[in-house]
Structure 1
Amino acid sequence: MATDFWGTQGVILVDFFSRGETVNSDSYIDTPKRLWARVLQVRPDMDIGNVLLLHDNARTHTSIKTMEAIASFCWTTLPHPSYSPDLASPDYHLFGPMQQALRRKHYENDEEVKSAVRTWLKEQPIQFYEAGIRALVKRWNIALERGGDYVEK
């Protein structure tokens, strides 16, 4: 399983969980910590306290432990409607094009898959990520106008 964090300037962190690893609050809690360290490394000019984090409503993301860790960084977590995959930017912006690019290729092991994913993400131009954020803002505004629902028609 991969977790990705990105903004208008591109990918900040791609975090992979091991095959068969149970993802729970205790295992996930290190992800925001790695994200914090990575942001400081790759975007030292960024106002680190001005991060808007869009998490879906998975239990690992909404647990008290996770929310406390995120709050310790002074980040804002945007609320996510109960079931709204159209607001999950990786679902509508990243995974489709990535799947197309990696389709019909054979990988010998998990490390080759991880490498292919990282390479594909790095190869995308900044405009690709900017378009994803713009699409998210548009979708988010529609969801707010509709009382929390966004359905692509």
Structure 2
Amino acid sequence: MTPKKVMGNYCWSSAGVIHHSFLPNGMSITSDVYCEELNTIMGMPARLQPALVNRSAPLLLHDNARPHTAQQTVSKLQELGLEVLRHPPYSPYFAPTDFHFFQKLDNFLAGKKFNTREAVQNAFEEFVASRPAEFFKKGINKLPLRWQKCIDSMRTYFE
């Protein structure tokens, strides 16, 4: 039987997807899981993502989900020397993954049916491979404009 949900963890930059993983059936993203993902990402050779080595460490932007804000995660971020941009309480306006990446992924997957986890994983990888080089850069570059739009709208909802 195919699960109704396949949980995944995705990390991307202006250069593209850095890392992705799919969790085993029934598993959720917890602080333990997120900290292991951070270890994996930081253990990747710089040659895999040369665009990230312009800084001493990647600058992270993630939402305020519990696994991202738990004390264990905060400690792991400090241990790894990672800086995190502050994120207001649930604000999809500031999460490029929500307003850019997942919006396009949803469109790509619209109407498709998957019978296996592998089919879901293959579809995700097909989506990533189908994005032009500019796609990821555009998503990151929209962020300052969205910040300004939020400030101008005095934090009211906008599209």
Distance 2:57 2:35 in 1: 20
The answer for the alignment partner of 1:136 in structure 2 is 143
The equivalent of 1:114 in structure 2 is: 121
On the 8 A contact 1:9/1:126 being kept in 2, the answer is yes
Q: Which residue of 2 aligns with 1:36?
A: 42
Map 1:140-151 to 2 at 5 A: 140-143=147-150, 149=155, 151=157
> For residues 13 and 69 of structure 2, what CA distance do their matches in structure 1 show?
21
User: TM-score, length-normalised on structure 2?
Assistant: 0.83
Using the TM superposition, give the Cα deviation of residue 20 of structure 1 relative to its aligned residue in structure 2, in angstroms.
0.9
Q: Give the one of 64, 69, 73 matched to 2:71.
A: 64
Deviations 1:35-80 (A, max 9, x none): 1123635125624524110011111001111112122222210111
Structure 1: gaps of 5 or more residues: none
Number of positions where the alignment pairs a residue of Structure 1 with one of Structure 2: 152
TM-score (norm 1): 0.86
Unaligned runs of 5+ in 2: 1-6
Q: Percent identity?
A: 29
Q: Which moved more, 1:17-26 or 1:128-137?
A: 17-26
Alignment correspondent of 1:3: 9
Distance in 2 between residues matched to 1:98 and 1:79, nearest whole Å? 25
CA RMSD of aligned residues (A): 2.1
